[in-house]
Amino acid sequence: MGKRVLITGGSGSVGTRLSQLLLENGYEVAHLSRSKTNLPNIQTYLWNVEQNQIDAECINGVDIIVHLAGAGIADSRWTEERKKTIIDSRTKSIQLVYQLLKSNPHQVKTVVSASASGYYSERGDKLMKETDSPNTDFLGECSVLWENAVDEAKDLGIRVVKFRTGVILEKNAGALPKIAAPIKFGFGAPLGNGKQWTSWIYIDDVAEMYLKGIEDETMQGAYNMSTPNPITNKELTVAIAQKLNKPLWLPNVPAFLLKLAFGEMSAVVLGSTKMNVEKIEQTGFKFKFPTIKSALNQIYE
């Protein structure tokens, strides 16, 4: 058998797609989950981060850990309690795994973790590189705490790769169904001024980039996970409408209405983040769906 990969948050859309890709490439795959699943060829171990509980056997034979666990950033309004849940689900979860590694024999050599384009958050038209400083808003703070928690593996001599992920496009999960739904019914419109940048990436390229991070032992540190072709909110809305053959006739949704409806969480859709991806391209990674047209063609055809 091939190397063994343990995935936190493996039942999510990225974890599901990555698990399939890993199995296709001869890896053994295991998940850490809050409940038992009956996924073929995948062993599930139970944990409860809130109660500091984890099945110690989950690290047996594991060579690589992929950390995807985390409460949805836009699932509910950002109360102080919700903010704490968002941060703890990303930081305390991986720290719980590291506690096992510190107190038990193991063979883990690599940790590959999700992070977020929220590290940069609202930056206007500036093209952000991995060496740029984080923002000081909640999205930036959350991403910094997340990455710092993941980096604790370095003290154990483990290679760490972090992917600052943009908007993941796929047909039935994430942002795309929410954007496409009003367009399908003739009520689509750009948000705010529509000029805010969206650094996006198709789900298949996400999985392939994780595989690259697992297999390329020269990679370490942070990498921007986005296509080389970020687009504005207006351009994304227009591209989806054109693909669905639907008109856009409504005016833009005013920013003040979004702030009124969602409060601080409106930063998720009104923030402008334009990421540079030269660092991941320099590793030899090739995007299969680099343009919004190629991605939408794959999704809807």
Structure-token pair, residue 94? 């991986």
- Classify residue 263: in a domain, yes or no: yes
Q: Tell me phi and psi for residue 250, to 5 degrees.
A: -80, 150
- Classify residue 254: in a domain, yes or no: no
CA-based nearest residue to 202, from 114, 127, 67, 296 = 296
How many domains does the structure of the chain reveal?
A: 1
Number of H helices, E strands in the chain: 10, 14
| Alpha carbons 166 and 115: distance in angstroms, whole number | 9
pLDDT computed for residue 301 by the predictor: 84
pLDDT computed for residue 238 by the predictor: 96
| 116: CATH | 3.40.50.720
Q: Domain residues for 120?
A: 4-235+259-300
- Classify residue 177: in a domain, yes or no: yes
- Classify residue 240: in a domain, yes or no: no
**Tens of pLDDT, residues 2-18:** 899 999 999 899 999 99
Report the sign of the C-alpha dihedral through residues 147, 149, 154, 155, in that order. positive
Do 153 and 143 form a contact (C-beta atoms < 8 A)? no
- Classify residue 16: in a domain, yes or no: yes
**Tens of pLDDT, residues 128-146:** 999 999 999 999 999 999 9
**Tens of pLDDT, residues 18-56:** 999 999 999 999 999 998 887 889 999 999 999 999 999
Do 246 and 179 form a contact (C-beta atoms < 8 A)? no
pLDDT computed for residue 1 by the predictor: 59
pLDDT computed for residue 37 by the predictor: 81
Token look-up 């506690």 returns 99
Q: Which parts of the chain register pLDDT below 70?
A: 1
- Classify residue 129: in a domain, yes or no: yes
Structure-token pair, residue 104? 């038990």
Do 192 and 165 form a contact (C-beta atoms < 8 A)? no
pLDDT computed for residue 260 by the predictor: 87
pTM above 0.85, yes or no: yes
- Classify residue 216: in a domain, yes or no: yes
- Classify residue 211: in a domain, yes or no: yes
Cα torsion through 87, 122, 10, 69, rounded to 10: -10
CA-based nearest residue to 145, from 96, 90, 99 = 90
